[in-house]
Amino acid sequence: NEAGSGKSYAGNQVIGFNFEAVTEGVSVESAATSEWVVDQISIDKNGLQRFGDTEDFFANRYQAEIDATNSINLADGSQLTWGEWSSGDNGSFILSSGGEVIENVIPEFRYMIGQATAIMPTTGQATFTPSVGYMQNITGDISVNFLNRNVAINNLGFSLEQFQFSGLNGGATYSENGSGFFKGNYSSGICAGCSAFSPAASVFTGNFIGNEADGLLYSTIMQTGEEGTKAGVHAFTR
């Protein structure tokens, strides 16, 4: 290999995250998953230090406090880790989108990170069930057909704060590139505690992790009505 080419062979990482900001008195929570190359991520002894692209989304821990990170091993032996940044006396993290600093962020940033699947399977099917993360009381599963690249959300249910979502179904086709990013809207579902829940306006995303797509990171943003949006990120494994 040519000198300096090592980064070309380093494994990409998938990061899922969520945070909350307040806009005109309304809570707006955001969540997403995405694949990043090695140059776009920095990790130190305390965990994730920064990631992203300054022209797109960028997150930097700076002097924010770090809640203890946790990890599990996937079937291929790679690790899935997760943790939180918390603003405190020592300083705060900074988030930006499109080069503009995101204002009025609640002082907590949650993230999950795992090795991106480099080559997606092209045959077979698999069912992914909830593993670890930041969504509570999860039920249901996600089924994937690797031949036609279809993803199906099957009767998913979970809690985000005081809101309880159930009967969520939806579908998407994942990308042929990289770790199979997918994005879609729910076709059905209900919410206990929401003033005007809209499944069709609520969004989910995902990327696969592990050598053989052993798991996936899943994010969702739920449109609750007057309460604003509620969001979360979670890992699913085969």
Per the prediction, the chain carries an average pLDDT of 93
- Distance of alpha carbon 100 from alpha carbon 87, whole angstroms: 19
pLDDT digit string, tens, across residues 122-172 = 999 999 999 999 999 999 999 999 999 999 999 999 999 999 999 999 999
Distance of CA 186 to the CA centre of its chain: 17
Say yes or no to pLDDT of 5 above 70. no
- How many Å apart are CA 107 and CA 11, to the nearest integer? 31
pTM for the whole thing? Answer: 0.93
- Pick 15 or 67 by higher pLDDT: 15
pLDDT band at 45 (very low <50, low <70, confident <90, very high): confident
pLDDT given for residue 10 in this prediction: 55
Span 171-203, pLDDT tens digits: 999 999 999 999 999 999 999 999 999 999 999
Greater model confidence, 88 or 207: 207
Task: Give the model confidence (pLDDT) of 110-124 as tens digits.
Answer: 999 999 999 999 999
Q: What Cα–Cα distance (Å) separates residue 125 from each residue in 73, 128, 142, 145, 166?
A: 22, 10, 11, 5, 24
CB of 135 closer than 8 Å to CB of 112: no
Predicted pLDDT at 26: 82
Contact 85, 109 (CB under 8 A): yes
CA dist 82 and 171 (Å) reads 26
User: Cβ distance 70 to 83 under 8 Å?
Assistant: yes
Distance CA 221, CA 203 (A): 5
Predicted confidence (pLDDT) at residue 4 exceeds the cutoff of 70? no
Bridge partners, 237 (sequence order) = 129, 215
Cβ atoms of 102 and 96 closer than 8 Å = yes
User: What average pLDDT does this structure show over 232-238?
Assistant: 98
Do the Cβ atoms of 114 and 78 come closer than 8 Å? yes
